Structure 1
Amino acid sequence: MRRAIHALVASVVLVLGATQAMAVELAAEQVLRKGNGAEPQTLDPHKAEGVPSSNILRDLYEGLTGEAPNGDIVPGAAESWTISEDGTVYTFRLREAARWSNGDPVTAQDFVFGLRRSADPMTASKYAQILAPIENAERVVAGKLPVEELAVRALDDLTVEIRLKAPTPYFLGLLNHSSTYPVHRPSIEEHGDKFSRPGNLVGNGAYVLSEWVVQSHIVLERNPQYWDDDNTTINTVYYYATEDQSSELKRYRAGELDYTYDVPVSQVAWIRENLGDELQVSTYLGVYYFGFNVTKPPFKDNVKLRRALSMAIDRQVICDKIVKLGEQPAYGFVPPGITGYESQVADYADLDREARFAEARRLYREAGYSEDNPLQVEIRYNTHENHKKVSLAVAAMWRAVLGVDYTLINEEWKVFLQTRKLKQDTEVFRAGWIGDYNDPYTFLELLHSKHGINDSGYNNPEYDALLAEIAVQTDMARRAKLMEQAERMLLADQPIMPIYYYVEKGLVKPYVDGFVSNIMDHHYTKHWRILAH
């Protein structure tokens, strides 16, 4: 029996929302000002990476599926879909009212073009690997098949068919990731790589790009062509580059921001005491870690050194004394709490502090280092007060426990990403990974040898083979066991050093209505409104 998903529930929610809106007084000026962390490197949905870009792209574009404020998957540009009995063929029916911001209709061909462009090796998308569930995607991404062989087709102007190589339980969630967004082909043909700039960008989301002042702000204006514009309230949204958390807090207190990207860890106590009702902290599907560049010395072919450094970290101290907002120490890579999956931990997780440090010193010596011959290492992090504090803490622990000599290197976000990609100059780098969809595979696939964001350069054929088996496994219990095996393998090889599991944290003004915490930390401006204040 074919399963159909319709927009009935979403429609009811919108109607209820509209009714409730009548009961409150809205601000005359519907303008939202958001802190957004680092300056985005691009707003091309198929080339962007990082949370700051993703936050903006969710306003500018819409995938086949969308998300409710609580993170539930709901219809997006597609009003409904059916899934074949064997779980491998998805057929999406687009909304007849869907329009690009220039008034052109959104068609099935636009989604086919977008998915092909995302998979095309000429696009050089760092996220192309995320499309792997689609039949032929991996060979297209590798340049072994033409993009026309990607198993995506338009059955008519409003119907998109996607064939998978095997049932994929998280596929609907994947379809609201920017790598699957449609793009406006005439704009790309006219403007080339400049199609994502103000005045050129044509999107299908609730907002359009109005202004971009580098290292200052990005302005989006409400898109009157959006199919659900009647239920959108905020007219203008400012995304501010806020890499300095102390400055961001000052701007928030001065009324220049309604929402912060982060909070400075040095002022958490003050924030709790004075702004407690505005501080939002909740579970978040993400892990903070450091990567080792395993493609060159000193970390290439030196598992003992990597394990020694990981064992020398007191994660509880970092959580309690540095970040201080309820983060949990991470001895594994996949955050806990994903239904049907038991997150794995390193084999030394249960050792007490002194036993762990003693083992770290033993491994450090066996790796060829000592007090007389200390490891000399560079630790890179991107501009961010909290990243600096954590990096300093990690470096200090390495020195105290093992006698490591270190150099800290701070780089602006775009430079930092480029340095990590090139790998020649990195030794240790801070990183974080936020799940692209609610499934362990979104973490495990990051370390596939061909993944565009595998900045450690980890390359283990056995690990890749496990991922390949997981990708086509239809027995969910068996799939979970394979993923647990893959995580254990990853932790034994230690190309990355998990530090803590994230929490979603930020400040939200009381007059911002519609904010709902969710495990993905995905927030769409179209769900919010500004109350009179």
Structure 2
Amino acid sequence: MLKNWLAALAVGAVLAAAPAEAQMVLHRGNGAEPETLDPHKSTGEGESWIQYDLFEGLMTLDAQGTLIDGAATDWSVSEDGLTYSFILREGNVWSDGTPVTADDFVFAWRRLVDPATNSRYAFFLWPVKNAEAISKGEMPPEAMGVEAVDARTLRVTLEAPTSYFVSSLQHHATYALPRASVEKHGADFIKPGNLASNGAYTLAEAVPQGHIKLVKNPRFHDAAGVKIDEVFYYPTENRETELKRFRSGELDITYDVPEGQVPWVRANMAEEFRVAPFFSTYFYSINLKNEPWASNPDLRAALSLAIDRDILTEKITGAGEIPAYAFTPPGTENYSVPQPEWAGWTQAQRDEKARALMAKHGYGKGGKPLAVELLFNTSENHRKTAIAIASMWQQKLGVKTVLNNQEWKVFLSTRAERRYKDVVRNGWIGDYNDAYTFLSLFRSDNTGQNHSSYANPEFDRLVMGAAVEADPAKRRAMMEEAELIMLKDHPLIPLYVYVSTNMVSRKVKGWEPNIRNIHLTRWMSVER
């Protein structure tokens, strides 16, 4: 008896002395300081990465970026394609232990389209019955075609059959929100200690210009499959600094890679350098509220024609980007990207045409001076691109360019409110694989994302018609015609189709390249 007691005591002493199992921690670079973590008010890619960890929509994405079940485990659609019924996951709860209900989705979707929310993504749910009218202040939020049939059944009625509707439901704009928490805390519902989330992680800390710390959510429906215990997101606008932090071991993943460092990284860190096609276009928007741009499409065209996109992608960016002469990227499903006539010209021909268009209106070398203010968010990559383009405009057209950069949050506000003078940097990542996710940005009534204030009634007619057209061939033809109209009007300057570039430590497992560059932490692990 005494011997057994002593043996048990010895074992207990050993167990007491053994260290607790080490936490698995991931450190991610995340670009600029988050604009906000409110899913209805954020617009940037970096914010969405954090939100994918915190929340789960009706649908979500696997490691390859493929659509899979999220908060809903089953759904059906009526024969006329207008009514969807989603069955929520049984037993699914918020991180505070309260159930995730259909009413949480109803509350969140009404909040998104409510003009009082002032969401730049309100248009995202315009396919839902009355949602567009609500966001324009013509109907109350309660008129939206979404209802909680019971705690686990969400019924959605659309304006017209919408082929991409289900695939759009993984986007942050469509997340449910915990109604009780939002009503209790107001705008502070998103702060640590207040936020109830239904994703794989919860919000533990948010230190301005420092880090966002997330910890594993033990109440997540697949918590047993989530390997990483904590994930830190670090804002670092200077990409050179971010790369140094990666090389020193402070970061496991970078937001991207400085363009000037791509050749060196390819040569010296190839194993950790990840490049993948990206469903995204880099472009400049021209402010059509201001002169001389508002009344002179020739000047807008001249700026676009004079940019040598081959030099830009080969000498400046250098990661494999594809020169762009249209807005929608290649790889868009059921769509043949239309090209303007000048896309097939030599650069010398484009330059000659650009000079002729300038001279036609008295501008150019020897003519009236033309100055352009080019605004971009603080980033070495954006700065180098802007310098190269300013040089092309100066040498070929005699245009003097003033470069102006702003911190991310300020930049987003300036661009969204069209307070920039002439030209502003822009980029768009497709929210689902369909041309509409690109073309809808330039609808004249899409005030949240139409940063050029572009308005063409025929373009609007075609894009709005495509939104409700059930015949795939007719819908495709309408969108292709609409894009050609827009390209002839030159409200934007397409520059190139992105590739995603990231540094990923060899210790990180589960990072899979995908066309939208979305990598939920729940699918990854870290070997230390």
Counterpart of 2:373 in structure 1 is 378
Structure 2 stretches lacking a partner, 5+ long: 1-20
Alignment of 1:95 with 2:89, yes or no, is yes
- Match in the other structure for 1:464: 460
Cα deviation for residue 374 of structure 1 reads: 2.1
Question: 2:522 is matched by which residue type in structure 1?
Answer: K
- The aligned residue for residue 440 of structure 1 is 435
**Distance of 2:486 and 2:294 partners within structure 1:** 15
Q: Write the distance in 1 (CA, Å) between the matches of 2:67 and 2:361.
A: 48
Partner of 1:17: none
Partner of 2:494: 498
SS of match in other structure, 1:290: strand
Aligned to 1:137: 131
Q: 1:93-242 residue pairs with structure 2 within 5 A? A: 93-242=87-236
Distance in 2 (CA, whole Å) between partners of 1:174 and 1:247 is 35
CA contact (8 A) 2:375 2:425 kept: yes
Pairwise CA distance, 1:28: 3.8
Asked if structure 2 preserves the Cα contact closer than 8 Å seen for 1:116 and 1:150, the reply is yes
- Whole-angstrom distance in 2 between the partners of 1:173 and 1:271: 35
Note if 1:528 corresponds to 2:524: yes
Q: Which residue of 1 aligns with 2:40?
A: 46
Q: How does 1:25-424 map to 2 (within 5 A)?
A: 28-371=22-365, 372-424=367-419
> Amino acid of the residue matched to residue 38 of structure 1?
A
**1:449 and 2:444 correspond:** yes
Distance in 2 between residues matched to 1:450 and 1:69, nearest whole Å: 35
- Normalising by structure 1, we get a TM-score of 0.94
Equivalent AA in structure 2 for residue 435 of structure 1: G
SS at match of 1:348: helix
Q: Counterparts of 2:419 and 2:296 in 1: how far apart (Å)?
A: 17
SS in 1 for 2:403: strand
Once the 2 structures are TM-superposed, how far is the Cα of residue 515 of structure 1 from its aligned partner?
0.6
Unaligned runs of 5+ in 1: 1-26
Distance 1:472 1:205 in 2: 32
**Map of 2:470 onto structure 1:** 474
Give the paired residue count: 506
Q: Kindly state the Cα deviation for residue 347 of structure 1 after the two structures are TM-superposed.
A: 2.0
**Aligned mates of 1:90, 1:367 — CA distance in 2:** 54
Q: Hey, what's the Cα distance between the residues in 2 that align with 1:189 and 1:278?
A: 45
- Once the two structures are superposed, residues 363-399 of structure 1 have per-residue CA deviations (whole angstroms, 9 ceiling, x without a partner) of 1112331223121110001011100000111111101
Q: One-letter code of the match for 2:389?
A: V
Encode CA deviations 1:7-53: one digit per residue, 9 max, x unaligned.
xxxxxxxxxxxxxxxxxxxx943101001111111111011111011
Shift in Å at residue 216 of structure 1? 1.9
Specify the alignment match of 1:12 in structure 2. none
In structure 2, give the amino acid aligned to 1:221.
V
Equivalent residues of 1:290, 1:430 under 8 A apart: yes
Q: Percent identity?
A: 47
User: 2:28·2:234 contact (CA, 8 Å) conserved in 1?
Assistant: yes
Matching residue of 1:507:
503
Amino acid at match of 1:443: F
Q: Distance in 1 between matches of 2:271 and 2:368?
A: 52
SS of 1:291 mapped into structure 2: strand
Counterpart residue type for residue 491 of structure 1: L
Query: What is the match of residue 488 of structure 1?
Result: 484
Q: 1: CA distance between counterparts of 2:209 and 2:382? A: 19
Displacement of 1:270: 1.1
SS at match of 2:110: helix
- Name the CA distance, whole Å, in 1 between partners of 2:467 and 2:79: 18
**How far 1:422 moved relative to its partner?**
2.5
Q: Which amino acid aligns with 1:449?
A: S
Letter in 2 for 1:244: N
Superposition TM-score, scaled by structure 2 size = 0.94
- 1:419 and 1:110 mapped to 2: Cα distance? 32
Q: CA deviation at 1:200?
A: 1.2
Residues 95 and 196 of structure 2 are in contact (CA less than 8 Å); yes or no, is this contact kept in structure 1? yes
2: CA distance between counterparts of 1:75 and 1:295? 43
Give runs of ≥4 in structure 1 deviating > 3 Å. none
The CA deviation at 1:301 is: 1.6
- CA offsets per residue over residues 447-505 of structure 1, 9 Å max, x none? 11122111111111221111110011000011111110111011011101010000111
Provide Cα deviations, 1:415-466, integer angstroms capped at 9, x if missing partner: 1111112223431111100011111100000111122111111111221111
* Counterpart residue identity of residue 454, structure 1: N
1:239-272 superposed Cα distances (whole Å, 9 cap, x missing partner): 1102111101100000000001110111111101
Q: Give distance in 1, aligned partners of 2:384 and 2:509.
A: 33
Q: Quick check: which has more Rg, 1 or 2? A: 2
Residue type of the alignment partner of 1:293: N
Distance of 1:71 and 1:77 partners within structure 2: 17
In 2, the alpha carbon distance for the partners of 1:352 and 1:270 equals: 31
SS for the counterpart of 2:39 is: coil
Q: CA RMSD in A?
A: 1.1
Aligned partners of 2:526 and 2:411: how far apart in 1? 36
Secondary structure of 1:46's counterpart equals coil
CA offset at residue 337 of structure 1? 0.8
